[in-house]
Structures are given as C-alpha cells and as structure tokens.
A and B are shown apart, each in its own frame.
Chain A
Amino acid sequence: MSEQSYEAYYVPHNSKLPIFASLGIFLTLFGIGSILNDMTAGVEHSAGTWVVLVGGLVLGFTLFYWFATVIEENQQKLYSDQMNRSYVWAMAWFIFSEVMFFMAFFGALFYVRFWVVGWLGGEGDRGPSDMLWPAYTPEWPLMSNPEADKFVGPAEVIPSLQLPLVNTMLLITSSFTVTIAHHAIKEGNRKKLINWLAATIALGLIFLVVQGYEYYHAYVDLGLTLASGIYGTTFFMLTGFHGAHVTIGTFMLIVMLGRALKGHFDADDCFGFEAASWYWHFVDVVWVGLFIFVYLLGGGPTGF
C-alpha cells in the first residue's frame, strides 16, 4: 500500500475530558455510597446528597461535552474510515459486555429456581434445611420464604399475558420502527427518519410508563417488592436493570432525534444512529429473554 493511500488516523493532542469524567464518576459513586450507608444506618439528610449533585453535574456536563466534541470532529470530516471502524468495533464489544452483565442475573435466576428452592426444601443432600424450616414448601414463584418473618412473601405475582405481553409488543414494534428509520437514512429521506425515530421513542416511553405502573401495582396491590424474598429479588433486579437500559436507550434515541432534526446523518455516515439502534435491539432481545424466562415460563398466572 502506498503512503498516499494510507488514511490519516485522528489522534487528538491532549484532552481535558477524561480527567473531568473520572472526577465526576468518582464523586457520583462516592456520594451514592454515603447516601446508602446513611440510609441503612438511619441517618437523615445525608451529606452524600451534595456530593452526588456535584459529581452528577460534573459527569453529566463532561459526557455531554465529550459526545459533542466527537460529533463536531465527525462533522469536520476529521475521521477516516478506519477511525469509524474503531467506533463500530468498540460499540459491538461494549454491547457484548452488557450482555455478560445480564447473564450474571439470569444465571442467578436459573440457579435459584432450579436448584436452591428445592434444596431448601430438603431435596438432594440438603436434608438439614428441612429441619430448619419445616413449614417451607418449595415452589416457583416462591410465595412463602423459609424465614417468613424476615422476608414476607408476595400475595400474588404479575400475570404474564397482561401488561408484560403489552410491553413485549411495544418493544418488538419499536425494533421494527427503528429499522424503518435506519432505512430512511439510507434512502436520504429525512422526514421519514424523523417520524419513525419519534415513533420509536414514543414506544420506548410508553414501555417505561407501563413498566412503572406494573411496579406500582406490584408494590401497592400485590405485596411483591424487592424485599419479598428471592422471587421479588430476581424479578425486580432483572426487569429493573432492563428498565434502566431502556431509559438509557431511549435517551440515546432522543439525542439521535435531535441530531436528525439538525440535519446530521447521511447514508455513508450515520454510525451514531446505528450505535443507538444496536443498543436498542440489544435491549429488545434482553426483554424477549425476560418475557420468556421471568414471565411466560416463570410459573406465575397467565392472567387469561
């Protein structure tokens, strides 16, 4: 390959962004730690609140400015194809790491459901636990916990074929709408892009509202909480982390909508959008896993 045809690789000389991001993320987490410790110790008005506020602002502004810088550099055509491929690879591997994060929680669910619940009832080699909690019945969903005073079990669990089914349809539809928006970029049809992207965001927001209502219903009407034993634990942690990811994904899509309105993205240069849509598809796939393993095959009522 001749020297002329070797493309330039953009290496910024110095950046203030990372050190501020490091400081911001440190203050945020340190503050959250202080709040949690004060909460558990029963201290009111934790000083950590201020630390979180400062840290969150530093982190938020830095990330905003960081992304703005990258977008600006891209608009100035400083990035070669090789540079863009670096972003593509990086996003793909980032999503892989996110998948592994969910694997930890799915693994915990399967392990508890298929082994622990039975062992606690005296199955296998675990005879003594039978004597510890004679009233305990192994079942899934676990409605009555071994130590029933400390962990008050739920009265009911969420039926699978009501709100969760609605949410499944919302998210699957949103996977299609975001793909249509992607095609619109490839066709150079900005109006279509904006409309379908807005539709995707709307579906994401409706999903979050429905999920919020489901949590409210679980806490207030069903007695299903984080503290109601291992069923509530796995249920809320899995769906909760998924909900957090939907929130992040929706936020990404809103940013992309803003960029689309400003005239960014064309058929050859739209990886920002594609990265957000990959993330969105990842969030959808996790939901399908949740719908199948937490709700549909979760042993609870279907609601039909």
Chain B
Amino acid sequence: MSAVIEHDNHEDHHHGPDKGLMRWVLTTNHKDIGTLYLWFSFIMFLTGGVFALVIRAELFQPGLQIVEPEFFIQMTTMHGLIMVFGAVMPAFVGLANWLVPMMVGAPDMALPRMNNFSFWILPFAFSMLLATFFMEGGAPNFGWTFYAPLSTEYAPPTVTYFIFGVHLMGASSIMGSINIIVTILNMRAPGLKLMQMPLFVWTWLITAYLLLAVMPVLAGVVTMMLMDIHFATAFFDAGGGGDPVLFQHVFWFFGHPEVYIMILPAFGIVSAIIPTFARKRLFGYASMVYATSAIAFLSFIVWAHHMFTAGIPITGEMYFMYATMLIAIPTGVKVFNWVATMWKGSMTFETPMLFSVAFVILFTIGGLSGLMLSIVPADFQYHDTYFVVAHFHYVLVPGAVFSIMAAVYYWLPKWTGNMYNEALGKTHFWLSFIGINVTFFPQHFTGLAGMPRRIPDYALQFADYNMISSCGAFLFGFSQILFLFIILQTIRGGKKATDQVWEGAHGLEWTIPSPAPYHSFSTPPKNLEEAHG
C-alpha cells in the first residue's frame, strides 16, 4: 500500500512531476518547494550582494564618489533586509524542505499545500519591498534594524510598504515553521525516536520554535510603527508618554532569537558534514542537542545587549552582560564537539568539508568578537562601529552562508544525481575564503579605531583598510558567479553519483537512490539505526 495518495484532477494517475512552468507554481512536493526556496534565496543573495558591492565601491576611497548619501543608506538598509529575510532564512527553509522529510523517513511535508503557500508569499513580499526603490521618497533608509523614530517620524512614505512586506515575510515564516515542526513531530518513520534524529532535524525543530515565538513579535513591532505613523498613537513618541527605546526592546526581543534562527540550522549542517569526512560518528550527540536547546533558551533573555548605549538602567546592563556571556558555554560545547569529532579521524577535504572546517574556525572568531561586544564598558567604544559590522559578518557570512554552501555541495549529488566538479568547488571555496577574510578582518581594526557604520564617507586614516576591504568584497562577490556555474554544470550532467555519495555518510537520505525519487519514502524505512548521522 502506498503511503502517498496522489490526488489528481486528471484521470491518468502519475507519480512524477508535471511538465512546464506550472509544475513550479502549483507544486505540493517538498523537493520542488525546497528547490524553489533555494533558487529564490540565491537570487536574493546576488541582489543583496550587488547592494553590498555598491556600498564597498563607495567606500573604496574616502570622500563621495559614486552614490549620494541618501542612496548609500538605502543600500545598507536593503542589503541587510534582503540578506537576512531573503537570502539566509529562505535558504535554510529550502534545505529543511528538501532534507527533513528524507531524514525522518516521511513521505512529504505534513501540510503540502500550506508549504507551497509559504514559499509563494515570498516573491510577492520582496517585490513589494524592492518596488520601494521606484516610489516617491525612495527605499527604506533607516537601517535593517529600523529604529524608531528614524522609521516612524523621519521615514519616507514607502515605510508603509516595508511594514506590509515584513508582515508577508512573517506570515511565510510562521506557516513554514508550523509545517517543519509538525513534520518532525508527527511524520517521523514509525519507531524513529527524537534522540535518533540527525542534528540538522533537531536544530531545525528548535529554530522553528524560535521563529514561531518571535516572528509574531516582529509583526507586533511593525504594527506599532504603522499605528504611530498613520493613526497618531504614541508607542515610540515620548511626547505622548511612549518611548523610542520601547521600539528597541520589542525589536531586539525578536532580533536576538532571529540571529540564532540564522545560525542553528548551520550548526546542524556542519554536524552532518564533519562526521562524514572525518569518518567518525559525531562526538557528543546528546550534548549537541542540549547545547542547542540551551542557546535557544538563552536567546530570549539577552536582547538588551544590543542596547547598552541606549540609556537603560545600569543594573539592566549588568544583567544582560552576564547573561550574554553565558551563551559562550553551550556554543563552546558545540565547537569542542566538532573539534573532537575531527580528532584522530581519517579526514579528507572535499569542498563541503572545507567549507565546514572554515565555518568552525571563522564562526569562532565571530563568536569571540561577540563576547568582546558583550562587555558593557567596552561596548560603549565598539557600539555602531565597523567592529560590530565585522563581528556579525563573521558569524553570518563564513557562518550561515558558508554552511549553506557546504550543504549545497554536500547534498547536490543526492538532489541531481551528479557529482559536482571537485576542482572548481575547491577553487570556489578558496576564493570565497580569501575574499571573506580580506573583506571583514580589516573592519575589526577600523571599527576599534572608531570608524562608524552606515556612513558613506570616512576619515583619511581609514583609507588603506577600506581599500583592502573593498577588494576582498569584489573578490568574494564575483566568486559567486563560479558557484552559480558549478551548480548549473552539476544539474546538467557530470559523473554519476552513487546512492551513498560519500563513503562516510550516514543518514536515511543516503539509503535512497541518487537523484532522490520524487517521493522518497512511500513506505516507511526500516533501517532506523541509519538515521542518526
């Protein structure tokens, strides 16, 4: 008996995908939707990347050369929004769509139609956001953190479309998260216990929980903005008894869990790849699960470390400083577990492993600069400088983005049935690795020396480091064309992949053919001991 009943409007009963464009518009298949998410996120990654290159081109030399300051701040704002909500988050949701049902032995996602809905909201949401460039007043210009009153009293009228765009993205994320949670809790192959799940599934379960907890809060804060702008409420206006700092509290109550939303699935990916290429089981599986949970819990109670200079009471600053430092403990558990997994392993360094090892090293650098930022008196110096920019780009680019690239190289043979070109993959890695470090490492120095973020011009003493930084950015940016080429080449052909693909790979997705059939597990898998990667 098939576990999937194909409901078809036509009389002919077929199990494969439809032909043509409408396959992608109407699909309810988790693999198709995963592919849609991944391509969408790649387009957004390139779009946000172009914005970043505009920023770096302007900052190549001191003085104003290329763009007006008004446009520069629109670029920084949209670069952040597009990368966070358009590139990183949809990429992880795309990976979850492809992988979670295969990893837990499910026929598909729990709610397939809603899955399609979650995806197709996104192109509309980002069209609304990007359309603001062509409207009166220009695109949002208040930074991706859209602090009030910059985003209320002093905002261009397009802020209204920004608000509704955020509402749409939130609706997409909430429905996507519900789908992922329900799939994990309800669709596991019979007998597959929670503590047997691959860590990618675990980290996504916790990520989806975080999304459900904080995306409504984001919806709340943009609604408050909407009311302040159009209905004369006083949430963020001290003259009416409100407080602009209230905005920052509500925003960062969303924003801090949000940064873990962008990194926990990355932890899951790296925890799948390192054991494969070290040819050892993951060290400390249970502690990885508990550490992820601990990080998720702590993410709710540290938000005001983003606001040390906003004028919160000193006792509050002390509390948030120490609570923030606690995060280093579970994160350290993870880093040591990855290192212990590699210890005395039979390591090989294929492209996914290169990206993963780079992730462990460079994410740790980003984590440690985060620890520096958590120290209240030091933060008064670092706040709103390029040191902060360097910090969060180290956790997001060689962190989140590298993990996504690692995941693409690692699972692409399973998705397409073809091996990618290893030499080109390694070239892409080294160009990206060098590009990223050349871009962001100098920003630590300019930041510590006091160069403020989001400003199109700077003092002459920062010129050399900025020129180096811009060169790195262009290297990294153009390297991604190679990435696109490698993916297209692999889709079109190449050496046929085996079912297991990698000799050290464990997990249910490696037990099915490559490319994975349209419906992976019509009947539930029996070899559950394979599941735990």
Contacts and interface: CB of A to CB of B under 8 A. Distances in A.
Interface magnitude class on chain B: 35 or more
Nearest to A101: B216
A111 B252 CA distance: 14
Interface in B163-190: 163-164, 167-168, 171, 174, 177-179, 181-182, 185-187, 190
Interface stretch (B5-13, B260-268, B423-431): B5-13
Given A18-B116, A100-B217, A226-B232, A11 B107 contact: yes
A146 B241 CA distance: 6
Interface in A73-109: 73, 78, 82, 85-87, 89-90, 93-94, 96-98, 100-101, 103-105, 107-108
A15 B242 contact: no
A43 B394 CA distance: 47
A145 B181 contact: no
B18 A108 contact: no
Interface in A16-42: 16-19, 21-23, 25-26, 29-30, 32-33, 36-37, 39-41
Interface in B415-470: none
B499 interface: no
A29 B240 contact: no
Interface string B252-290: 010000000000000000000000000000000000000
A29 B167 contact: yes
Given A29-B167, A78-B7, A8 B1 contact: yes
A18 B117 contact: yes
Given A101-B216, A101-B219, A22 B178 contact: no
A117 interface: yes
Contacts of B185: 89
Given A9-B3, A25-B168, A40 B229 contact: yes
Nearest to A76: B7
B524 A23 contact: no
Interface string A34-62: 00110111000000000000000000000
A162 to B, nearest CB: 25
Interface string B104-120: 00111011111011001
Interface string B223-254: 01011011111110111111100100110010
A21 B115 CA distance: 12
Contacts of A13: 6-8, 28
A93 to B, nearest CB: 5
A17 B27 CA distance: 11
A86 B187 contact: yes
A150 interface: yes
B160 interface: yes
Contacts of A304: none
Contacts of A303: none
B234 A29 contact: no
Nearest to A241: B223
Contact of B110 (A19, A66, A90, A125): A90
List 8 A-B pairs, minimum CB-CB distance, nearest first: A104-B220, A147-B239, A230-B241, A18-B117, A101-B216, A227-B232, A151-B240, A26-B124
13 contacts: A11-B112, A12-B7, A89-B185, A90-B179, A97-B212, A104-B216, A104-B219, A104-B221, A147-B237, A147-B239, A147-B240, A151-B237, A232-B234
Given A9-B106, A30-B164, A86-B111, 15 more contacts: A1-B190, A8-B5, A14-B22, A21-B117, A26-B127, A37-B157, A90-B111, A93-B182, A97-B213, A104-B253, A116-B243, A147-B238, A151-B237, A151-B241, A230-B240
